[in-house]
């Protein structure tokens, strides 16, 4: 005959299962928050090291790698600006997108880092902060839910 399992042994086993459940879901969430935080820090540092300049939009360059994956054309925005030394330089956005389309000749404000004059970042939430937010927010939500479940579980077991 099977021996009955004591209540303490059942609680111990249940605690162990819940703990592993929390670990399995918390680890990817922590990685997501860490990557999003790193992206946010890099964006913040790039903005504060850059100068806001008025640039003229040039014809966009099509992203050859992403054309075959989507039905819509995705472009890099290209700009021409005059730097602090008076030289005319060309720059493009580091990421391709179909959110920003500028007619050639349009005047646009862009962030340009003097250490990387070929890279121009567009000011605004969608161009600067959507990547870090998209990485960190789901991880934070999962961590908050897991923390709530853990507190609830600790109260009853």
Question: What pLDDT digit, counting tens, does each position of 116-155 carry?
Answer: 899 888 888 888 898 899 999 999 999 999 988 888 887 7
**43: its two tokens:** 């964006």
Residue 89 domain boundaries: 50-124
Kindly state whether residues 87 and 139 are assigned to the same domain.
Answer: no
Q: How many residues does the chain have?
A: 157
Report how far residue 136's alpha carbon sits from residue 37's, in angstroms, rounded to the nearest whole number. 7
Quote the pLDDT of residue 5. Answer: 67
* Count of structural domains within the chain: 2
Over the chain, what is the mean pLDDT? 85
Quote the pLDDT of residue 88. Answer: 94
Beta-carbon contacts of 144 under 8 Å, excluding residues fewer than 6 positions away, are none
The answer to whether residue 2 is domain-embedded is no
Strand intervals (E) in 83-154: 88-92, 107-113, 116-121
The answer to whether residue 1 is domain-embedded is no
Chain segment 70-86, per-residue pLDDT in tens: 566 678 889 999 988 89
Quote the pLDDT of residue 107. Answer: 95
Kindly state whether residues 105 and 85 are assigned to the same domain.
Answer: yes
């Amino acid at each position: 005959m099977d021996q009955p399992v004591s209540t303490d042994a059942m609680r111990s086993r249940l605690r162990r299962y819940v703990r592993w459940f929390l670990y399995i879901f918390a680890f990817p969430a922590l990685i997501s928050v860490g990557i999003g935080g790193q992206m946010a820090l890099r964006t913040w540092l790039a903005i504060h090291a850059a100068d806001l300049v008025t640039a003229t939009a040039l014809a966009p360059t099509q992203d050859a790698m992403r054309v075959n994956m989507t039905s819509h054309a995705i472009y890099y925005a290209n700009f021409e600006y005059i730097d602090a030394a008076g030289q005319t330089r060309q720059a493009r956005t580091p990421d391709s997108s179909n959110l920003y389309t500028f007619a050639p000749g349009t005047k646009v404000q862009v962030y340009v880092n003097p250490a990387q004059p070929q890279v121009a970042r567009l000011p605004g939430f969608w161009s600067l902060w959507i990547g870090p937010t998209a990485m960190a927010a789901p991880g934070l939500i999962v961590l908050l839910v897991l923390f709530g479940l853990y507190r609830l579980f600790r109260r009853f077991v």
